[in-house]
Amino acid sequence: MHATLEVVSSQVPAVSAHPNEGHLKPWKHKVRELAYDAEDTIDKYLIRVSDTPPGLSHRPWTTVLHAARRCKARRRIATEIERIKNDVKDASERRQRFSIPDVAGHWSPPRTTSPAVDSHLPLRYDNTVRLVGTQKPNVKFVLGRILRQVSQSSGENHELWAEEEIIGRIRDLLEDKRYFIVIDDVWDESVWNWINCALVQNTHGSKVLTTTRKFSIARLCRSTDCVDATILELQPLSFLDAQNLFYNKVFGEDRCPSEFTYISDQFLRKCAGVPLAIVTIASLLTNKHTVDEWSSVYNSISAEHNSHLEDMRRILSLSYHDLPSKLKPCLLYLSLFPEDHKIEKDDLIWRWIGEGFVHAKQDMSLYRVGEDYFNELINRSLVQPVHFDAHGRVQACRVHDIVLDYINNLSLEENFVTIYGQHTELLPNKVRRLSLRNSNGNTISQEAKSLFHVRSLTVFGHVADLILPFRSFQVLRVLDLEVCSGHKIEDICNLVHLRYLRLSGAHCVEVPKQIGNLQFLQTLDLKKTKIKALPSTLVQLRWLARLCVDRLTQLPEGIGSMPSLEEVSEVDITKYPNLMEGLGKLCKLRVLKMSLDTWDRRHREPLLKCLCNIKQLQVLHIFAADVSLDFMLGNNGWSWTPPHLRRLTVSIAD
């Protein structure tokens, strides 16, 4: 089955490289659905043939009964595997029949706004070269264009030259020249490496200006430059500068008629200081002369087929299709969240892990790999950082409205995310990820057949009359309920495929012992609930890596026997002294957030001993209420600091 999944999954990146070929869409959709079906089948197999479930006794008759169930499950899964294999064979034959290529050809991207070059530059330099990059350039062609501009002659026939010969000729011509070279929109690191070989480091005041959408390429350009180089990271325009640009493009001056002021501000907030967005939207408004016409444009901006915005969407398409295949689902996943929603980094990474988007690397935890994915999306400017910690690390992000509009449309097209209650009250035949918002929830139960394949369900805010048919969610991995009211948590505890569970709301006051059924659970977030204590069955969750609770919540005995725990927050260790001993046994714990509400001198030694034993601890956050922490300064003979600790935060309440 895993081999079948690998065969199917290997086709998805190939078809994703064909951004403009609409005739491939049915085949692409078929391949994606096959990959989903294969993953669902593997999940069901793991559950049905797993070891004896929690709570099942080991008496002979129960063992025989469980063995019989496993045999029946194997036969059922075998039938499903055979069906998927036949579908894979059919998809492969279709591929051959319609001659679908393995990789995309060298299609030409739309031109973006390029840096303006002063017309007086040729008077200051012996050579000026202007080169516009493409997403998939031919190195010899790029070098040839540089040579033609440097030599200022078309007499040399270099088509048959090797790359090294062209580079040598360029270097000869630039050796004693003062040159200025603009390389616009570099996508590929290897292209820069070739170009850099052709550049001569002389003492004549030569300059090279490179633009790129990738921060990694900017760093590469700086590191390969022998002299001082500067990275200028373009920031969004200030509101005043954005306003001036917008007014000048629409009205031809930096003033706005009073009746258009409010709607203009609405457009500017949507553009968020991005010049391309401002210029594009301004072009839609130049021939609109009434506020009603402007309002109509504003309401149509998010429409799927607004031809005026196609240029901007094609540019976003460039950035999306340049992403490594592992990052594409991570970006599309952000379409689950509403406009202007603040997305916490840690929550997002653990959601990705729960979905299976994050792939293991040697000597790196899944969280660390997911953090690299998150930072890559930040560095590519596809998401915006909105909150930093005291050390300058990004802790939360937001998706620009225009990017969100693009990935919403793409997610809808690929049946990746379904948004229910915003623009639609109808569900497709197979829903994979469901974002429920601003809707009357009593209709969702009528769509039960569409919910069998849902892998992620997020409910934002309070949805009136919402009763979720949890029995329909047969392969649910991620569940996030912002307001947990009207739901029986016992029903949630039957969702045996869950990897991520977050509950919120004052109505959530108790976790049943059936929580131990969630054997694959990795994240349990209950910090915004009124739960007083967690049941003893919690310690059966051997894959639980992240446990977030309110500091008033009591953890069960035996917490030290949970081998996968990486994060525990926020616990009051002073009320439950035995908890310190348990925490000290967690060999993978890297994040600990604890409070000291009822401090006693007797707690000092157990606390320091606990911290000494947590060898992998990287982040320690202590909330203290009128407590002196001088005993932690090292004057007492204890060297408690874990070797990998990199961040210590102490918050003292007044």
pLDDT tens track for 589-615:
999 999 887 777 778 888 888 888 899
Nearest-angstrom CA–CA distance, 261 and 309? 23
Cβ neighbour number for residue 320 with a 10 Å cutoff: 21
Per residue in 413-448, pLDDT (tens digit) is: 888 999 887 556 667 778 899 998 866 555 565 566
Instruction: Tell which of 63, 97, 131 closes a domain.
Output: 97
60/35 same-domain check: yes
Instruction: Give pLDDT, residue 216.
Output: 79
Q: What percent of the chain has pLDDT over 90?
A: 25
Instruction: Give pLDDT, residue 301.
Output: 67
Q: How do 343-344 and 394-398 pair as beta strands?
A: antiparallel
Burial 581-595 (b: 16+ CB within 10 A, else e): ebbbbbeebbbbbbb
CATH number at residue 328: 1.10.10.10
Q: Are 128 and 121 in contact (CB under 8 A)?
A: yes
Residue 546 lies in a domain: no
What is the layout of strands, in order, in the sheet containing 179-186? 127-132, 179-186, 207-212
Residue 626 lies in a domain: no
Give just the sign of the alpha carbon dihedral 264, 270, 273, 274. negative
Which of 173-177, 202-206, 328-332 comes out lowest in average pLDDT? 202-206
Which of 54-63, 256-265, 282-291, 329-338 comes out lowest in average pLDDT? 54-63
Position 85 confidence tier, pLDDT thresholds 50, 70, 90: confident
Instruction: Give pLDDT, residue 589.
Output: 95
Which of 144-148, 282-286, 327-331, 616-620 comes out lowest in average pLDDT? 282-286
Residue 327 lies in a domain: yes
Q: What percent of the chain has pLDDT over 70?
A: 72
Residue 161 has pLDDT above 50, yes or no: yes
Residue 345 lies in a domain: yes
pLDDT averaged over every residue in the chain: 78
Per residue in 108-128, pLDDT (tens digit) is: 333 444 455 555 555 566 666
Instruction: Give pLDDT, residue 315.
Output: 65
Instruction: Give pLDDT, residue 109.
Output: 36
Per residue in 235-272, pLDDT (tens digit) is: 888 999 999 999 988 888 888 999 999 999 988 888 87
205/251 same-domain check: no
Number of domains in the chain: 4
Q: Are 177 and 206 in contact (CB under 8 A)?
A: yes
4, 27, 105, 149 from 92: Cα distances, Å: 12, 10, 20, 47
Residue 480 has pLDDT above 90, yes or no: yes
218/244 same-domain check: no
CA atoms within 13 A on the CB side of 207: 11
Nearest-angstrom CA–CA distance, 126 and 200? 14
Look-up of token digits 């969630």: 518
Instruction: Tell which of 30, 64, 97 closes a domain.
Output: 97
Which of 289-293, 343-347, 625-629 comes out lowest in average pLDDT? 625-629
Contacts (Cβ under 8 Å, ≥6 apart) of 564 = 522, 542, 543, 544, 545, 588
Q: How do 456-460 and 433-437 pair as beta strands?
A: parallel
Position 347 confidence tier, pLDDT thresholds 50, 70, 90: very high
248/329 same-domain check: no
Per residue in 365-409, pLDDT (tens digit) is: 999 999 999 999 988 778 888 888 877 789 999 998 878 988 998
Cβ neighbour number for residue 382 with a 10 Å cutoff: 23
Instruction: Tell which of 253, 269, 301 closes a domain.
Output: 301
Answer whether the bond into residue 570 is a cis peptide, omega within 30°: yes
Instruction: Give pLDDT, residue 544.
Output: 97
Residue 75 lies in a domain: yes
Residue 580 lies in a domain: no
Distance of CA 458 to the CA centre of its chain: 16
Using CA atoms of 491, 485, 387, 390 in order, give the dihedral in degrees to the nearest 10: -80
78/155 same-domain check: no
Per residue in 27-63, pLDDT (tens digit) is: 667 777 777 777 777 776 666 655 444 444 445 544 5
Instruction: Give pLDDT, residue 316.
Output: 78
9/92 same-domain check: yes
187/93 same-domain check: no
Structure pTM? 0.71
Residue 534 lies in a domain: no
Q: What is the mean pLDDT of residues 221-240?
A: 76
Q: Which of 504, 462, 513 is nearest to 479 (CA)?
A: 504
Please state the φ and ψ torsions of residue 47, each to the nearest 5 degrees: -75, -45
Q: Which of 294, 304, 2, 27 is nearest to 12 (CA)?
A: 27
10/93 same-domain check: yes
**259 is in which domain, residue-wise?**
239-301
79/130 same-domain check: no
Position 505 confidence tier, pLDDT thresholds 50, 70, 90: confident
Residue 500 lies in a domain: no
Residue 350 has pLDDT above 90, yes or no: yes
Nearest-angstrom CA–CA distance, 537 and 490? 13
User: Of 116-120, 133-137, 546-550, which has the strongest mean pLDDT?
Assistant: 546-550
289/319 same-domain check: no
Instruction: Give pLDDT, residue 427.
Output: 74
